[in-house]
A = this chain, B = another copy of it.
Amino acid sequence: MKRPTIADVAKAAGVSKGAVSYALNGQPGVSEATRSRILAAADTLGFRANSAARALAGAPSNVVGLTLHRPAKTLGVEPFFMELVSGLEAELSIHSYALLLQMVSGSDQEIAVYQRWWSDRSVDGVLVCDVRDGDQRIEALTRLGLPAVVIGPPAASGALASIWSDDGVSLVEAVEYLAALGHRRIARVGGLPELSHTAIRSQTFARLAEQLRLESAVTVPTDYTGEDGARATRRLLSSANRPTALIYDNDIMAIAGLAVAREMGLTVPGDLSIIAWDDSPICRLVHPPLTALTRDISAYGTHAARLLLAAIDGKPVTDVHDEPAHLSPRGSTAPPPPAPRRRAARPDA
């Protein structure tokens, strides 16, 4: 009834414990004949190495760590995060790796978690999200020597390998599309400004505005929540020379913006065009369905896991550029209203 140990396998195969270990881990030191005899015995007994014993003896844990930030931030990233985890797990489970989630409330605590994980050998590597410029965690991880992959722009990932898609390309696609439709006043409801990828998007947006000689191209920062997205939308649409198109840094804010437009008596896409960055199923379920920047977040997670696994194996890893998000035009974008009617918005009408 007791779980078989390596000693049981050794006895069954008529060899020493050491030989069993070598055979099971694909190490040299046993002949092919012995190896297969050992493997057969292990299989018959249903042997699985005890992970604590392995860890204590310095073997890898077959666990990858991911920290989770407290609600406020997580909520906004919610659909992204779950899809990412789903993609991560798909790859990890193939290699018998598990994902260890740990909630943290700040960078310091997160770094402490990394230290403990690594000195415990509870994880073989970690994934890092939501990178900021000069992010403390990057340096800490590099110093620890803990294999890590950054899910974010390579520019902010320091010596760590990163995986990211080129947000610049995607933004160009979206803005040029709007410009081609005739929009001259485009605003962006952006994400958390301290995140590196938000900064990149903002810079690209400003540059594009100049290149395309847009009349206006404001970015309003938010915390990614629907509420904040609604507030930003209300402000933008109340301005004297209000934009005719809005780009939102996530889909939940775009949906909130859609409701605000209606509340303010504007039709979409007649009076206002809307584009959502990231394309969860909900974007197709609202009316009009939202034009969105679509990317395969799950595949993204799979690739991130693959990269981390390679780093853990000590293989040389380099920054990976994943497929950028592409525009899926739907019902929320159209040419701007023809006449530049100066109809002031009346939020409290």
Q: How far is the CA of A206 from the CA of B99 in the complex (A)?
A: 42
Q: How far is the CB of A97 from chain B (nearest CB, A)?
A: 9
Q: How far is the CA of A127 from the CA of B21 in the complex (A)?
A: 33
Of A192-200, A212-220, A254-262, A306-314, the stretch lying at the interface with chain B is A254-262
Q: How far is the CB of A302 from chain B (nearest CB, A)?
A: 12
Is A68 positioned at the interface, with any CB of B under 8 Å from its CB?
yes
Is A3 positioned at the interface, with any CB of B under 8 Å from its CB?
yes
Bitwise, A103-145 to B at CB < 8 A (1) or not (0) is 1100000000000100111100000000000000000000000
Q: How far is the CA of A307 from the CA of B54 in the complex (A)?
A: 31
Identical chains in the assembly = 2
* CB atoms of A226 and B120 under 8 A apart: no
* CB atoms of A286 and B259 under 8 A apart: yes
Q: How far is the CA of A103 from the CA of B302 in the complex (A)?
A: 13
* CB atoms of B50 and A119 under 8 A apart: yes
The residues of B that contact A78 with a CB separation of less than 8 Å are: 78-79, 82
Is A285 positioned at the interface, with any CB of B under 8 Å from its CB?
yes
* CB atoms of A101 and B103 under 8 A apart: no
Tell me the A276-312 residues at the B interface (CB within 8 Å): 281-282, 284-287, 289, 298
* CB atoms of A226 and B85 under 8 A apart: no
The residues of B that contact A90 with a CB separation of less than 8 Å are: 70, 103
Bitwise, A223-265 to B at CB < 8 A (1) or not (0) is 0011100100000000000000000000010011011001100
Q: How far is the CB of A75 from chain B (nearest CB, A)?
A: 8
Q: How far is the CB of A303 from chain B (nearest CB, A)?
A: 16
* CB atoms of A101 and B119 under 8 A apart: no
Q: How far is the CB of A80 from chain B (nearest CB, A)?
A: 11
* CB atoms of B51 and A122 under 8 A apart: yes
The residues of B that contact A82 with a CB separation of less than 8 Å are: 74, 78, 81-82
Q: How far is the CA of A70 from the CA of B83 in the complex (A)?
A: 11
* CB atoms of B101 and A85 under 8 A apart: yes
The residues of B that contact A285 with a CB separation of less than 8 Å are: 226, 230, 252, 255-256, 258-259
The residues of B that contact A180 with a CB separation of less than 8 Å are: none
The residues of B that contact A282 with a CB separation of less than 8 Å are: 226, 252, 255, 282
The residues of B that contact A227 with a CB separation of less than 8 Å are: 281
Q: How far is the CB of A183 from chain B (nearest CB, A)?
A: 23
Q: How far is the CB of A54 from chain B (nearest CB, A)?
A: 8
The residues of B that contact A100 with a CB separation of less than 8 Å are: 63, 98-101
Is A167 positioned at the interface, with any CB of B under 8 Å from its CB?
no
Given contacts A79-B78, A86-B71, A101-B101, contact A122 B252 (CB under 8 A): no
Interface-centre pick from A116, A256, A287 (highest chain B CB count, 10 A): A287
Q: How far is the CB of A227 from chain B (nearest CB, A)?
A: 8
* CB atoms of A281 and B50 under 8 A apart: no
* CB atoms of B230 and A259 under 8 A apart: no
Q: Closest 5 CB pairs between A and B?
A: A52-B55, A89-B103, A52-B56, A3-B119, A256-B285
Q: Which residues of A contact B (CB under 8 A)?
A: 3, 48, 50-56, 61, 63, 68, 70-71, 74-75, 78-79, 81-82, 85-86, 89-90, 92-93, 98-104, 116, 119-122, 225-227, 230, 252, 255-256, 258-259, 262-263, 281-282, 284-287, 289, 298
Query: What 8 new A-B contacts, CB under 8 Å, besides A50-B119, A52-B55, A282-B282?
Result: A51-B122, A52-B121, A85-B101, A86-B103, A93-B104, A98-B101, A101-B101, A252-B282
